[in-house]
Amino acid sequence: KRTSAKMKRGTQEAYKQTFLVPVKLTDRRAVYLSRATQERADFVVRRLGDRGANLSSFVERIVRAHLEDYAEEIEEWRKL
């Protein structure tokens, strides 16, 4: 069903395509991160991302992937 984080780790290119491709965000909302988390995430975007990569798109893609990975469980828990 779901694979472990280590098993999902693939090539740098796969990571970039999954998390570092810019997303056109409309109807945006603010999300707050701790300074430490923001600095670490920003470092990843700056070091691994291509031109146009940004922190907002990175966070958007991480949250989308999480919600997709756990969609079935979230739906089950919602019904409890």
- Please indicate, yes or no, if residue 54 is contained in any of the structural domains: yes
CA atoms lying within 13 Å on the CB side of residue 65? 15
Check residue 3 and give its pLDDT: 56
Which pLDDT band holds residue 10 (cuts at 50, 70, 90)? confident
What domain range is 55 assigned to?
A: 5-18+31-78
- Please indicate, yes or no, if residue 26 is contained in any of the structural domains: no
Total domains, the chain? 1
Q: Does residue 6 register a pLDDT over 70? A: no
What are the pLDDT digits (tens) for 29-45?
999 999 999 999 999 99
Tell me whether residue 58 is exposed, middle or buried, using C-beta atoms within 10 angstroms of its C-beta: 0 to 12, 13 to 18, 19 or more.
Answer: buried
- Please indicate, yes or no, if residue 25 is contained in any of the structural domains: no
Query: CA–CA separation, 74 vs 66, rounded Å?
Result: 11
- Please indicate, yes or no, if residue 24 is contained in any of the structural domains: no
Query: CA–CA separation, 18 vs 29, rounded Å?
Result: 22
Mean pLDDT of 5-12: 68
- Please indicate, yes or no, if residue 23 is contained in any of the structural domains: no
pTM of the prediction? 0.82
Check residue 56 and give its pLDDT: 97
